[in-house]
Amino acid sequence: MDITTETTEGAAVVRFAGAADISAVEAIRRALEASMQNAGNRVVCDLSGMDFICSDALGAFISAHEDAREAGGYVRLLQPQERIRDILSTTQLNRLFDIYDSLETALKV
């Protein structure tokens, strides 16, 4: 899994590419934690390049979302591929996370 981060308009944009499998979970957690610290708990996760997500990786996103929300921030999801959208829907995580189709909208809301 490749993870890159940039800060724009007061939020961290974290881009995930590849498989979010068990071997990537710790890197995902570290990236989300660092992004929350650097951007005041405002994080947009670009999932357009993610083609698989395991339950442990989902847990990392859920934990980050809860931590950010408690601190007055957010973790938002951007452009998940259809396969990832299906998983979010099946697990009803589409009710927990705000999901956006454009970065501009995710940053402005």
Question: What is the predicted pLDDT for the residue at 74?
Answer: 97
Residue 30: predicted pLDDT: 98
Per-residue 3-state assignment (H helix, E strand, C coil) for the chain: CEEEEEEECCEEEEEEEEEECHHHHHHHHHHHHHHHHHCCCEEEEEEEEEEEECHHHHHHHHHHHHHHHHCCCEEEEECCCHHHHHHHHHCCCCCCCCEECCHHHHHHC
Query: What residue segments make up the domains of the chain, in order of their start?
Result: 2-108
Backbone angles phi, psi at 7, to 5 degrees: -110, 130
pLDDT of res. 28 = 98
Residue 49 has a pLDDT of 98
Average pLDDT of adjacent 10-residue blocks, the chain of 109 residues: 96 98 98 96 98 98 98 98 97 97 93
For residue 105, the model assigns a pLDDT of: 97
**Tokens in use for 89?**
């829907």
The confidence score (pLDDT) of residue 18 equals: 98
What the block records as the tokens of 56 is: 């442990």
What is 2-108's CATH topology? Transcription Regulator spoIIAA (3.30.750)
